[in-house]
A and B are shown apart, each in its own frame.
Chain A
Amino acid sequence: MECVFGLVGDGFAIIASDTSAVHSILVHKSNEDKVMILDSHKLMGASGEPGDRVQFTEYIQKNVALYQFRNGIPLTTAAAANFTRGELATALRKNPYFVNIILAGHDKDTEPSLYFIDYIATLHKVDKAAFGYGSYFALSIMDRHYHRGMSLEDAINLVDKCITEIRSRLVVAPPNFVIKIVDKNGAREYAWREFIKDAATGLPTT
C-alpha cells in the first residue's frame, strides 16, 4: 500500500514516499517517483489512484508554471496549496480525483511550510503529515520523536525510523523509498532508501 509522509524542520521540509507501482498482486516497478518537484521551491508528494495521481500532479505542476510565466513571480506555497484544493473541490462532485497530497514549500525569506490535502479537498497547514497504511506507523513515530525546529540530521533519522517501522510492521510493506527535501536553496532529491533493486537493472537483491 502506498505511503507518503512529510515533516517540517529548521529551515527545510522533507517529503518521503514509497516507490512501488502496484497493480493487484503485481509490482510493475519499484522505483516510481511519487514526489513531484512542482517548481524550484515546492514539492508535492501524492498517493492514490495511479492515473489520477500522475494526471493531477502534472496538471498542478503545469498550472504553477503558467502562473509564473504570466505573472513573472512564482506562486507562494499557500497559494499553490489553495489552488490545488480548489481544483480537487471543483472536481469532487463531478469527476473526483482520488489523490491524497502532501505539499511542501519554502518561499523566499520565510519559513518552510507543509500542507495536508485530502482527496476530498480538505486543506490544513501542518507540521507533519502522512497518508496510506504507512501513516498508522509514521504518524505515531513522528508523534513520539518530532519537535519543532529539528535539524536535518535529526529529521532524516526520524524519516529513517518511520521507514524502518513501515518495512517491519506493514504486511505488504513497500521495500524502497525516496526522500526529497525543500529549503531556501530549492527543492531536490535527497536520498533513496532501497532494499530491492529492479530486475531490469540486473542487480542482485540484497
Chain B
Amino acid sequence: MSIFEYNGSALIAMVGKNCFAIASDRRLGVQLQTIATDFQRIYQIHDRLFIGLSGLATDAQTLYQRLVFRHKLYQLREERDMKPETFASLVSAILYEKRFGPYFCQPVIAGLGDEDKPFICTMDSIGAKELAKDFVVAGTSSESLYGACEAMFKPDMEPEDLFETVSQALLSSVDRDCLSGWGGHVYVVTPTEVKEQILKGRMD
C-alpha cells in the first residue's frame, strides 16, 4: 500500500458565486483498520482562508503546525492576514524545501481573495501548484471525486446550492473508496460568514 494511502482521506474545494466550499471526509485509519471517525482534515488559517491536508496524517499535522507558525509570523510582521495566493505560494515553497524527502501530503487551499473573489488550488506533495476556476480534489478517492465534481458542477452557484453539490459529490465518491468516508465535514464560506456542517453518510 502506498504511503499516501496509509491513513485514507478525501478532500474537495469548489467555487461558487462570491463564495467557496471546502469539504473532507472524517475517517482516520491505519491501513484497513479504522481508528477514528471524527478526524479533522480542514484547518482554518484565518477567517477567509482554509487549507485541507490529505495524505499521511502525521505529515498533515506537522505541516499544519509549520504553516500556522509561518502565518502567525507573517501577521506579526505585516499586521494583516495572508492573501490566499500568497499562502499557496508559501505552502508550495515549504513542500519543495523537502524535495528529496517530502511530506506525504496533498494540500487543498481555498480562500477569498481581493474583492471577495474565491480562490482555490491544490498541489502535489512536492509543491506543484494546480490552480483551477471550478473545483479541486485530493485524497485516496480523487478519481471518483473528479468524476463526481465534473458531473455535478455548475458555475456561479449560490451558497445553498454549492453546499448541496459539494456534499453529494463527496459522499458519492467516498462510498466507492474503503479508505475514506465515515461522514463528511463541509465549510461554506461567504464574505460575511462561515457555515460549518457535519454530513452523515454511509458509516462503513
Q: How far is the CA of A123 from the CA of B28 in the complex (A)?
A: 10
Q: How far is the CA of A189 from the CA of B134 in the complex (A)?
A: 57
B interface SS class = mixed
Let me know if A120 and B58 touch, CB within 8 A: yes
For residue B62, which residues in chain A have a CB less than 8 angstroms away from its CB?
Answer: 89, 121
Size class of the A contact interface (CB-based, 8 Å): 10 to 19
Q: Which A101-121 residues sit within 8 Å CB-CB of chain B?
A: 116, 118, 120-121
Let me know if B58 and A126 touch, CB within 8 A: no
For residue A148, which residues in chain B have a CB less than 8 angstroms away from its CB?
Answer: none
| Residue on A nearest B61 in the bound complex, by CB | A123
For residue B153, which residues in chain A have a CB less than 8 angstroms away from its CB?
Answer: none
| Residue on A nearest B40 in the bound complex, by CB | A124
| Residue on A nearest B6 in the bound complex, by CB | A120
Let me know if B36 and A126 touch, CB within 8 A: yes
B94 beta carbon closer than 8 Å to chain A: no
Let me know if B56 and A124 touch, CB within 8 A: no
Q: Mark A113-154, 1 if CB is under 8 A from B, else 0.
A: 000101011111010010000011001000000000000000
B7 beta carbon closer than 8 Å to chain A: yes
For residue A116, which residues in chain B have a CB less than 8 angstroms away from its CB?
Answer: 35-36
| Residue on A nearest B28 in the bound complex, by CB | A124
Let me know if B28 and A122 touch, CB within 8 A: yes
Q: How far is the CA of A124 from the CA of B33 in the complex (A)?
A: 15
For residue A126, which residues in chain B have a CB less than 8 angstroms away from its CB?
Answer: 35-36
For residue A93, which residues in chain B have a CB less than 8 angstroms away from its CB?
Answer: 101
Q: How far is the CA of A68 from the CA of B62 in the complex (A)?
A: 26
A85 beta carbon closer than 8 Å to chain B: yes
Let me know if A124 and B35 touch, CB within 8 A: yes
Q: Mark B138-156, 1 if CB is under 8 A from A, else 0.
A: 0000000000000000000
Task: List 22 A-B pairs, Cβ < 8 Å.
Answer: A85-B61, A89-B58, A89-B61, A89-B62, A116-B35, A116-B36, A118-B30, A118-B57, A118-B58, A120-B56, A120-B58, A121-B58, A121-B61, A122-B28, A122-B61, A123-B58, A123-B61, A124-B36, A124-B39, A126-B36, A129-B35, A136-B33
**Which 9 residue pairs spanning A and B have beta carbons closest together?**
A121-B58, A122-B57, A122-B58, A120-B58, A124-B36, A89-B62, A126-B36, A124-B28, A116-B35
